[in-house]
Structure 1
Amino acid sequence: MTLLLQISDPHFGTERPDVVEALLQLAAREQPDLAVLSGDITQRARRSQFAAARAFVDRLCATPTLVIPGNHDIPLFNLFARVLHPYANHRRVFGADLEPVFESRELLVIGLNTTRRARHTDGEVSTEQIERAAQRLERATPLQLRVVVTHHPVASVAAEDTRNLLHGREHAIRRWAQAGADLILGGHIHLPYVLPLASRMDIARPVWAVQAGTAVSTRIRGQIPNSVNLIRYDASDPNGRKAVVARYDYDENGNAFVPVLEHALDLPSTDEARSPVSVRAAGSS
């Protein structure tokens, strides 16, 4: 069993200390094999905010991390920095690679930078990025869960979020499906959900969009609390590869992240496409 923790949009600079501690407790208890931070690590891309984010990552009990930037991780008001050195503070803290890749026996996770200095909040994926990720997906082993991480969402459930969708997404989804992708993780809109993309477009195999809410920020959306996703993956099931996306919300009364919803996914093998998916409330049979 492999466990991936998806943390999105923490917006350090607006973080809630109690929620940060609760998330660290969740990570210590679950001990994920990888923590993915899917963008908007900071509120305004300031050095102090990146330092706070780095301190948080350093407390994740030596859990490997994959970190990509979001649109908030580019300076907004410092136009000189935005034009000439938009990722300087991000690189100073998290390294030069803005599109890291993590690989283990059961995981292949490909990070992509969908931010653009010329855009305000919108994201974009280029033909070169799409193809590079696809070629890497095609080299995955049959055991691996194949994941692409973008900050901007590739599908929405609310009409008002269509304006936030990733530019270039349709070509990306089709190409990555052809290459064997299982999941596309995203954030940006602070709304957690799981969507089967095969029900929305004609693609080569089932692919799921997995969105996370804001992990620790005060910038919650409506009545949705701070939340993260835990993705459990089992490649050894005799009936095929299995994944469960469990949403954990922050409970104010218990000062802890608690499971509230699970999406159980039957994943296709390398060369077949099966698409049954069930959704159930956490704790139900």
Structure 2
Amino acid sequence: MRTVAHISDLHFGRIDPRVVEALAEDLAEQKPSLAIISGDLTQRARRNQFREARAFLDRLPMPYMVIPGNHDIPNFNILGRFTDPYRNYKRYISEDLCPIHQDDELVAVGINTVRSWILDFAEGRINRAQMKRMQEVLHAAGPDRFKIFFTHHPFLPPPDAPETRLVGRAREALRRLEEAGVDLMLAGHLHRAYSGDIMSHHTKVARSILVAQASTATSTRLRNEPNAYNFITIEGTGEDARVTFLVRSWEGARFTPGLKSQYVKRGHRWELQAQDPGLSPAS
């Protein structure tokens, strides 16, 4: 069994310090096997914001993987955005924009979907070289390990907003992910938490793939949801796999368990077995 803390959209530079402290404490208490941080560590990609993000990462007691988000490249420094967009990110966070984690039970691959050169650089895109790399790594992992792929920009829209813009070249990337046998896709960007099967939106996809989106973990830029992160429990692989998503939400004093969704693999399809709303804010 593996447990993964899926954290996204920290946005240092526009955070509530109480939430940051509570998040660090909750992660230390929950003790996930791995933390996956799917981008937007800063609000404006400034050095002091990256230093704050670095200090937070240094407190994590578990292995972690991290990729940049669109807020992690310069916004107002146009020259810097085009000539060296990841300068501060690489200096303070990581030089690896496409990290890989592998152990006996799990393989996870992160891909940087930020594109500094497009007009609306808030939107993301995946290129063919990245597709090839992720396909090779995930395919080489074999059928006996659970496979996770994560980006900053989403592949699955919210259930109530099907027209939400998705990462560029999503359909082509999904064909590669199908072939590589990916089990779970994680992303952020939208500051909303939800989960489901990729087939619910991409009707031409032939492989059932679980998707989980994370809310903003610590930013004050909320979208009608509290600060939260996903605590994911993974049991088994292949047709015997079971995955539980637990949204741990900030409730004014600490992070507490909220919506819990349990999926099981039946044949070649993921099925939602149970869903529990968990604790209410008044609990």
TM-score after normalising by structure 1: 0.91
- The 2-side partners of 1:161 and 1:85 are apart by 34
Task: Find the counterpart in structure 2 of residue 209 from structure 1.
Answer: 211
Task: Find the counterpart in structure 1 of residue 244 from structure 2.
Answer: 244
- Call closer, same or farther: CA 1:283–1:214 in 2, change over 3 Å: closer
- Call closer, same or farther: CA 1:161–1:52 in 2, change over 3 Å: farther
- Any idea what the Cα deviations from partners look like across 1:167-191, whole Å, max 9, x if unmatched? 1111112220221001110000101
The 8 Å contact of residues 164 and 189 in structure 1, kept in 2 or not, is answered as no
- The 2-side partners of 1:221 and 1:143 are apart by 38
- Within a 5 Å distance, the mapping from 1:263-274 to structure 2 comes to 263-267=261-265, 273-274=268-269
1:99 paired with 2:98, answer yes
- The 1-side partners of 2:232 and 2:92 are apart by 26
- Any idea what the Cα deviations from partners look like across 1:183-240, whole Å, max 9, x if unmatched? 1100001011002112332323210221000000101112x00010011011289x81
The 8 Å contact of residues 157 and 164 in structure 2, kept in 1 or not, is answered as no
- The 2-side partners of 1:283 and 1:14 are apart by 28
- Within a 5 Å distance, the mapping from 1:43-58 to structure 2 comes to 43-58=43-58
- Any idea what the Cα deviations from partners look like across 1:103-137, whole Å, max 9, x if unmatched? 11111110100000113211001122112211211
The 8 Å contact of residues 158 and 164 in structure 2, kept in 1 or not, is answered as no
The 8 Å contact of residues 146 and 237 in structure 2, kept in 1 or not, is answered as no
- Call closer, same or farther: CA 1:65–1:184 in 2, change over 3 Å: same
- The 1-side partners of 2:59 and 2:162 are apart by 33
- The 1-side partners of 2:200 and 2:43 are apart by 35
- The 2-side partners of 1:265 and 1:105 are apart by 22
Task: Find the counterpart in structure 1 of residue 199 from structure 2.
Answer: 198
Task: Find the counterpart in structure 1 of residue 180 from structure 2.
Answer: 179
The 8 Å contact of residues 234 and 244 in structure 2, kept in 1 or not, is answered as yes
The 8 Å contact of residues 36 and 67 in structure 1, kept in 2 or not, is answered as yes
- Within a 5 Å distance, the mapping from 1:89-128 to structure 2 comes to 89-119=88-118, 120-128=121-129
Task: Find the counterpart in structure 1 of residue 275 from structure 2.
Answer: 280
- The 2-side partners of 1:130 and 1:142 are apart by 19
- The 1-side partners of 2:237 and 2:146 are apart by 12
The 8 Å contact of residues 248 and 255 in structure 2, kept in 1 or not, is answered as yes
- The 2-side partners of 1:135 and 1:202 are apart by 22
The one-letter amino acid paired with 2:98 is: E
- Call closer, same or farther: CA 1:46–1:185 in 2, change over 3 Å: same
- The 2-side partners of 1:41 and 1:273 are apart by 36
SS of corresponding position for 2:259: strand
Q: CA deviation at 1:36?
A: 0.8
SS of corresponding position for 1:132: helix
Structure 1: state its 5+ residue gaps: none
- The 2-side partners of 1:14 and 1:231 are apart by 26
The one-letter amino acid paired with 2:210 is: W
The one-letter amino acid paired with 1:165 is: L
SS of corresponding position for 1:220: coil
Count of residues in correspondence between the two structures: 276
Task: Find the counterpart in structure 2 of residue 65 from structure 1.
Answer: 64
- The 1-side partners of 2:277 and 2:104 are apart by 28
- The 2-side partners of 1:44 and 1:53 are apart by 12
- Any idea what the Cα deviations from partners look like across 1:10-29, whole Å, max 9, x if unmatched? 00011111111111111111
Question: Which 4+ residue blocks in structure 1 deviate beyond 4 angstroms?
Answer: 158-161
- The 1-side partners of 2:265 and 2:132 are apart by 23
Q: CA deviation at 1:278?
A: 2.7
Q: CA deviation at 1:266?
A: 1.8
Q: CA deviation at 1:162?
A: 3.4
TM-score after normalising by structure 2: 0.92
Q: CA deviation at 1:282?
A: 4.5
1:7 paired with 2:7, answer yes
The one-letter amino acid paired with 2:106 is: L
Specify which of 223, 228, 244 is matched with residue 221 of structure 1.
223
Structure 2: state its 5+ residue gaps: none
